Structure 1
Amino acid sequence: MAATARVAELIRQLREHDAALHELATRHLPPATLPSDLTLRQLQVLVVVRGRPGITGQELSESLHVSTPTISGLVERLVGKDLLTRHTDTTDRRRILLSLTEEAAAMLLEMESLGERVREQVISRLSVEELSSLVAVTGRLREVAEELAQEQELAQEQAKEQEQARA
């Protein structure tokens, strides 16, 4: 039980440090050139589509854990803002594939480069030993995140199989 309490306390401290780092970094970032009417969910859609060009609305819906009608509305608004394009799949004309426009790609790149500059300033002050530790820990975080993603995909596949077996 003591180990569980220690883990909970360490997670709390990590969240506190993360929030403080975010707040400090945000204070020093110049304003990003985002369209004023872009929502956080729309930004998430753009980031996912950038990572998976040619994704379908259904795949996007599953990736963001929102309903297909919700994704349809988000996509419609982003197409209207000239941030997303829709293309018919040449191998299956029923499928509509999504891609970023050049404007959206440039906007995301600009946002990331601002954050990267602040991050670079902070990280450059760490020692070699601290950087090595940070690389090891972030590498492990990535491994755990990949494991969780695989587990979620497996659970979704199993749920679909069970649903199909019942039908």
Structure 2
Amino acid sequence: MTTLSTFTFRAATEADIPAIVALVESAYRGDSGRRGWTTESDLLDGQRTDAADVADAMSRPDSCILLLERDDRLLASCHLERKGEAAYFGMFAVDPARQAGGLGKQLLGEAERLAREDWGCRLMEMTVIVQREELIAWYERRGYRRTGSYKPFPYGQERFGIPRRDDLRFELLVKELAGVAV
């Protein structure tokens, strides 16, 4: 567990699963997601995740859900998974009512630190829906670069959401993690 000013970072436990699902759903889908600036509500309907998906991510080797809390209240979360010399960053969610206040930047920084210092990763990777230009620009300001490598959206698999358009795809973004502890 790491504490930064009044915020605490820690790995999620099974008891956190309902709160993580609620946070992710509120940040990505429906009217609650529209309160923040990172919503996918105009691109996708349906669920973003569920308890089984979160439990699966937590149970895999070299994988964790990282939480940012204040006064025992969940404010942000992300999934990290080590894949060799790279760490995959995903399922990033910040409480929509608290977006644009620096919480996401703090959690991303802690995720990068963990990947670099604890796991010895040289790269952080993520995939972002290409239509989310404002979000991609936010990552670029934090040192991520677009690779031009794309993955198709999993149309027909409702567990990833119900697309509202037919041109969705993901782009791989990467960042070199300086000062890797070996």
Using the size of structure 2 for normalisation, the TM-score is 0.26
Using the size of structure 1 for normalisation, the TM-score is 0.28
Name the structure where helix makes up a greater proportion of residues. Answer: 1
For the pair shown, the structure with the greater C-alpha radius of gyration is 1
Name the structure where strand makes up a greater proportion of residues. Answer: 2
